[in-house]
Amino acid sequence: MVLRQERVTLKSGKVGLISDTHGLVRPQALAVLKGSELIIHAGDIGKPEVLVALASIAPVIAIKGNNDRGSWASELPDILAVQVNSVEVCVIHNVNELAKGTIEGELRAVISGHSHKPGMITREGILFVNPGSAGPRRFSLPVSVARLKIQEEEVQARILELKL
């Protein structure tokens, strides 16, 4: 697995989270993500045009999902350790593949995708967020994205179901 590390400084701390688009850019997702200073895509992008559309709103950082193949996807890391202001965030497509000790430092949030099921839980002081799928609907799961708000050391998130 390829791990990439980045550092990002944001003024407002507003981060848009999206995953599992599978090549579909919904206008509703773009509308909800407006106002983000940064967008994180947690994999299964589907095609590079998705990243281009998201970049029209804010800078995008993305990781490769299990369905992302081809030369465009080969440049994407499998895991991203990003420091947003002073907060350590890990982005991985399948949270079950996150091994203890993968990320050094004081991890505060883990962003994942893969299951298409939106959810948030805090374990051992770490906020785990899956924004769900913003792509084609899977089973009866909602179509959703999420917002992350980072202010100083505080990290908050909320899931936003898209109205289709």
- Please state, for a pLDDT cut of 90, what percent of the chain lies above it: 81
Statement: residue 105 has pLDDT above 90: no
Task: Report the 10 Å Cβ neighbour count for 77.
Answer: 18
Domains belonging to the chain, first-starting first, are: 3-161 (3.60.21.10)
Statement: residue 128 has pLDDT above 70: yes
The pLDDT value given to residue 98: 83
Distance CA 120, CA 98 (A): 16
- Please state, for a pLDDT cut of 70, what percent of the chain lies above it: 95
Distance CA 111, CA 65 (A): 13
State residue 32 phi and psi, 5-degree precision. Answer: -70, -30
Statement: residue 155 has pLDDT above 70: yes
Angle at 42 between CA 39 and CA 48, to 5 degrees: 75
**What is the pLDDT confidence band of residue 102, given thresholds at 50, 70 and 90?**
low
The pLDDT value given to residue 49: 97
Q: Number of H helices and number of E strands within the chain?
A: 3, 11
